[in-house]
Chain A
Amino acid sequence: MRKLKVLLVDDEIMIREGFKRLFDWEAHGCEVVGEAADGIEALRQIDALLPDIVIMDINIPFMNGLKVIEVSRTKHPEIAYVIVSGYDDFSYCRKALQLQITDYILKPVNYEEFGSCIDSLKISMYESKTSENSDLDKGDERVISSIMRYMQEHLSEEISLSLLADEFHLNPQYISQLFKNEIGVGFLAYLTNIRIEKAKKLLLSTALSVTEISSYAGYSDYRVFTKVFKKTEGITPSQFRREFLDRKKAEI
């Protein structure tokens, strides 16, 4: 898989430096190709470098980050964005859920947990790619898509590489490699991602309790679930529900 090109947009040099040097881009199959400190520069860099992923601070000079996304979307619809938002302004994160292939992280950025955000972007990018060209001519793609479908259907159960290997009569190493090659994400990272995505969906669409949702998402221990959720989302499941449902109340 080719390396993904990343553009960093933040008006504070220290935050850009942090992103550049404290996160292992290499290990996540990415490379930082450019930086921008304001909205105009960001637009120019996007046009010039055609990045795959843009890490976007909202509060930047000349033109705010959301506006930059909006403008460049029309020209480059395939670019994925990570919105960097403060805790005190969840509206940006909510926006991220509405925009396609956009994720968010909260400031102060925890670089150790940033990997899950990149993984999640890669998964959405892969999903949108496969949904566009549904003619799966390559064998690997057909295999992985059926594995993915199986995982989705058995999310509330225990899933492991060896279990999948038995189910599909394949070598566990092969499956692991398949995920790495096709999506660019490790098997476990993928599993965690879809479990958490499922939980997020349930949190917003049902009135189920956190404990119930945790078991639907495949976590038998709610403590583990809360911990993983907090790690990847920066907030706890109930906080997530509160923050993102407030929006719905406000919009109605």
Chain B
Amino acid sequence: MMRMEIALILVLLFVGFIYFSAGRRNTPLHKTFSALLIITPLHLAFDAATVYTVNHLETVPPVLNEILHRLFIGTMPIVVYLFYRYISILVEEETKKPVPFHLVAKIYLGLAELGAILLPVHYAVTEKGNYSDGIHISVCYISVAFYLFVCLWLLLKNRRQIDGKKKAAIGVALIIEGIVSVLQAINPTWLISGMGITLMTLAFYLTLENPDILRAELTEQKMSMLYLKSQVNPHFLYNTLDTIRIQAQLNGDKATADLLMRLSDFFRLSIKTDKQMTALENETELSDAYMELMCCRYPELEYNCDIDPDLGDALVPNFILQPIIENSLLHGLKNKGYRGEITVSAKMLNQNCIEIQIADTGSGFEQGVKNKIDEMLLHYDKHKTNIDSIGVLNVQKRIKLLCGKEFGLSYTENTEVGVTAHIRLPLVREEYK
């Protein structure tokens, strides 16, 4: 039976190696898992040693046997306590409320350790093999049962608030440990308690602590941090911009003041991304601000916007105009030294459908590019995004998702040798009562 323990130790050491070699943040959760990865192999090592000594009672000195047993039983409550800690931290992170069992859990740990040190050690000798028996070994069972029930209670009580993935990880770990413990209690000679602990550790490792998943989550977090930052900062940013604007105007520099005004308009409008759909008018306001700033940077650019005012409150996906305009600038007008025109217009095609056109007088499509773009926009869902097309593709994806597959973005060549983007959308208006 020792072979299983050795295999488990090797697996855990391997997991530990990968885990510790990937640098990670110093959170309570990671600290607990690190402790688990150290204590568990230690516990398994004592387990393996006692499996040997208990079956060689004649040759091993009784004192050594007893010490190893006390170490084996003594580390068991620590391991399950750490599992409890790990799960309770997870639950606390999810529910944002403290778990009320910390004191009880610690007191129990103290009592269990006292029991492991002081209670008398017994062995059962059978023809299938020998095993530890009696009141001393019950410390293990009671500890597992105690912490298992606390964790189960935590999981069930907070099941609504806990994220599905974590719920599954905790649930599976608890079920494995429960089954293994019951089997161990029924068949003491199976000596499989170590397996339960290892599988539990592995369950958490594979679901919650896996470096790949962690990395993905980190990127996600980084993104949301950036997003959060851009949510907090803009107020500071455009209040400050406004202060600078007033100062410029006080200094008599009206041109700078006007540019700063447009820039703060642009900021204000571009962070208003809390809704997926917005009034067409808000979209054109954003592109107005954007293009006015661009026209100032490139004085030979010209911008026209002609939107039927009764389409002003038509609902369109947020942030669809500016990326298309930017695309026209970068791929059309840049090639002409930013000399030319961009015209945004919108009209009703029929009672249920509107079309927004963004026409440029840029360099037009190069040989073969038109087909490529058509193909990309047609198979928008299969296409890998590259830097060049990410804005356009993103617009296409959002329109298809929010408005339906029959709507979307397409490009044609126009009579001015430039390119016209056509955005077809359903005519939906905000309702007034």
Q: Which residues of A contact B (CB under 8 A)?
A: 12, 14-15, 17-18, 21-22, 87-88, 107-108, 110-111, 207, 209-211, 214, 222-223, 225-226, 236-239, 241-242, 245, 248-249, 252
Apart from A15-B242, A15-B243: 11 A-B pairs, beta carbons within 8 A: A209-B310, A210-B309, A210-B312, A211-B310, A222-B309, A238-B309, A239-B279, A241-B313, A242-B430, A248-B433, A249-B433
Identify which of B199-207, B246-254, B410-418 touches chain A.
B246-254
CA A22 – CA B264 in complex, angstroms?
19
Asked if B154 is an interface residue, CB under 8 A from chain A, the answer is no
CA A236 – CA B264 in complex, angstroms?
18
Known: A17-B250, A209-B310, A226-B309. A108 touches B279 (CB 8 A): no
CA A21 – CA B250 in complex, angstroms?
7
User: 1/0 per residue B260-292: CB within 8 Å of A?
Assistant: 010010001000000000010110010000000
CB pair B313–A242 under 8 Å, yes or no, is yes
CA A111 – CA B248 in complex, angstroms?
13
CA A108 – CA B310 in complex, angstroms?
27
Contact of A18 among B250, B309, B312 (CB under 8 A): B250
CB pair B281–A22 under 8 Å, yes or no, is no
CA A211 – CA B313 in complex, angstroms?
13
CA A87 – CA B267 in complex, angstroms?
12
Report how many residues on chain B are interfacial, defined by Cβ distance under 8 Å. 23
CB pair B312–A237 under 8 Å, yes or no, is yes
Closest to A252 in B: B433
CB pair A238–B281 under 8 Å, yes or no, is yes
Residues of B within 8 A of A87 (CB): 268
Q: How many interface contacts (CB-CB < 8 Å) are there between A and B?
A: 64
CB pair B432–A241 under 8 Å, yes or no, is yes
CA A15 – CA B241 in complex, angstroms?
12
- The interface centre, meaning the residue of B247, B279, B281 with most chain A CB atoms within 10 A of its CB, is B281
Q: How far is the CB of A35 from chain B (nearest CB, A)?
A: 15
The 13 listed contacts between A and B (C-beta, < 8 Å) are A18-B246, A18-B249, A18-B250, A22-B249, A87-B268, A111-B249, A210-B312, A222-B309, A236-B285, A236-B309, A237-B309, A239-B282, A245-B433
The 6 closest A-B pairs by CB, nearest first: A18-B246, A238-B312, A238-B313, A108-B242, A210-B309, A14-B243
CA A225 – CA B310 in complex, angstroms?
13
User: 1/0 per residue B299-326: CB within 8 Å of A?
Assistant: 0000000000110110000000000000
Closest to B246 in A: A18
CB pair B432–A236 under 8 Å, yes or no, is no
Residues of B within 8 A of A214 (CB): 309
Residues of B within 8 A of A12 (CB): 243
CA A207 – CA B433 in complex, angstroms?
8
Residues of A within 8 A of B432 (CB): 207, 241, 245
